[in-house]
């Protein structure tokens, strides 16, 4: 599927919270985001005061690759995907982000252009923190800077794992890895967010048909159960073994 990347980008329309209750609600939400979780109430309100909320319809391009890197985005409602798009319209999905997830962290540090497109997969509301405002607040709340470094470290490790799986695992192994990475802890576990076979195929560089065959294989072996598009991991140990490269 292709997207009108040059014309579909919707400019941000900022509207500052007009009432104290709005600031309180945003502060409450920021307190659930790992990046801000260690802040006290006063600090949360100071960050809430510099955020601007914007809504995007399904399919809207929020940022395009090459756009100026001037803000951090936090998903308040809805879902977005981070993608690379080839000239022929083919997509590679780098990540699917839900409520509490954020993107644009690298731009907060180096200010360089966006490295990927971000597209709303459902009607979504995002909080936007401009780079200059964010940096001023971090100077007063250095624990946020440390949390940012921890998040970048986590994503770097995840990227290393993704690269390794693309090189060392076959398609069923990659599917197993995607399921595990997006599942709740423990066993049985469910996927944090529903994923179609098409989305999974775009995440691991395979065809939808091969992903469907792998999912069917996992069901037949009793490793997963699927009901009403909800995937439940029944045998985590078996999936973890399948997601490890063969020696």
DSSP per residue, 16-74: ---SHHHHHHHHHHHTTSTTTTT--HHHHHHHHHHEEEEEE-TT-EEE-TTS---EEEE
Least confident among 2-6, 10-14, 18-22, 168-172: 2-6
State the alpha helices, DSSP H only, in the chain.
20-30, 41-50, 105-110, 131-140, 142-168, 171-181, 197-204, 208-220, 236-242
Least confident among 1-5, 149-153, 206-210: 1-5
Q: Which of 218, 181, 213, 180 shows the shortest CA–CA distance to 197?
A: 213
170-242 maps to CATH 1.20.140.10: no
Q: Which of 70, 69, 78, 57 shows the shortest CA–CA distance to 8?
A: 57
Least confident among 73-87, 156-170, 183-197: 156-170
The gap from C-alpha 194 to its chain's centroid, in whole angstroms, comes to 13
- Mean pLDDT of the chain, nearest integer: 83
Determine the pLDDT at residue 159. Answer: 67
pTM attached to this predicted model: 0.69
Domain with CATH 1.10.10.10 in the chain: 170-242
CA-to-CA distance for 28 and 26, rounded, in angstroms?
5
Specify the higher pLDDT residue, 236 or 142: 236
Residue 109 predicted with pLDDT over 90: no
Domain with CATH 2.60.120.10 in the chain: 20-161
25-46 per-position pLDDT tens digit: 999 999 998 888 888 898 899 9
20-161 maps to CATH 2.40.50.140: no
- The residues facing 53 across adjacent strands are 127
**Residues contacting residue 50 through CB under 8 Å, at least 6 positions apart:** 129, 130, 133, 134, 137
Q: Which of 161, 168, 157, 180 shows the shortest CA–CA distance to 240?
A: 180
Residue 222 predicted with pLDDT over 90: yes
């Amino acid at each position: 599927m292709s997207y009108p990347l040059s014309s579909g980008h919707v400019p941000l329309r900022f509207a500052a919270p007009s009432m104290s209750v709005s600031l309180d609600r945003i502060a409450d939400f920021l307190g659930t985001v790992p990046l801000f979780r260690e802040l006290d109430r006063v600090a949360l309100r100071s960050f809430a005061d510099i955020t601007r909320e914007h809504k995007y319809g399904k399919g809207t391009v929020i940022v395009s690759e090459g756009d100026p890197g001037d803000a951090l985005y936090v998903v308040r409602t809805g879902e977005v995907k981070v993608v690379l798009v080839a000239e022929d319209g083919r997509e590679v999905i780098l990540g699917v982000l839900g409520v509490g997830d954020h993107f644009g962290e690298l731009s907060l540090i180096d200010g360089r252009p966006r490295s990927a497109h971000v597209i709303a997969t459902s009607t979504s509301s995002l909080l936007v923190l401009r780079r200059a405002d964010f940096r001023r607040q971090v100077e007063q709340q250095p624990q946020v800077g440390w949390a940012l470094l921890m998040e970048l470290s986590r994503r770097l490790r995840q990227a290393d794992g993704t690269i390794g799986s693309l090189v060392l695992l076959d398609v069923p192994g990659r599917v197993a890895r995607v399921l595990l990475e997006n599942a709740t802890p423990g066993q049985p576990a469910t996927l944090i967010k529903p994923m179609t076979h098409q989305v999974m195929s775009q995440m691991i560089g395979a065809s939808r048909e091969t992903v469907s065959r792998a999912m069917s294989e996992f069901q037949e072996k009793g490793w997963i159960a699927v009901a009403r598009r909800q995937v439940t991991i029944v045998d985590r140990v078996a999936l973890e073994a399948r997601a490890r490269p063969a020696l």
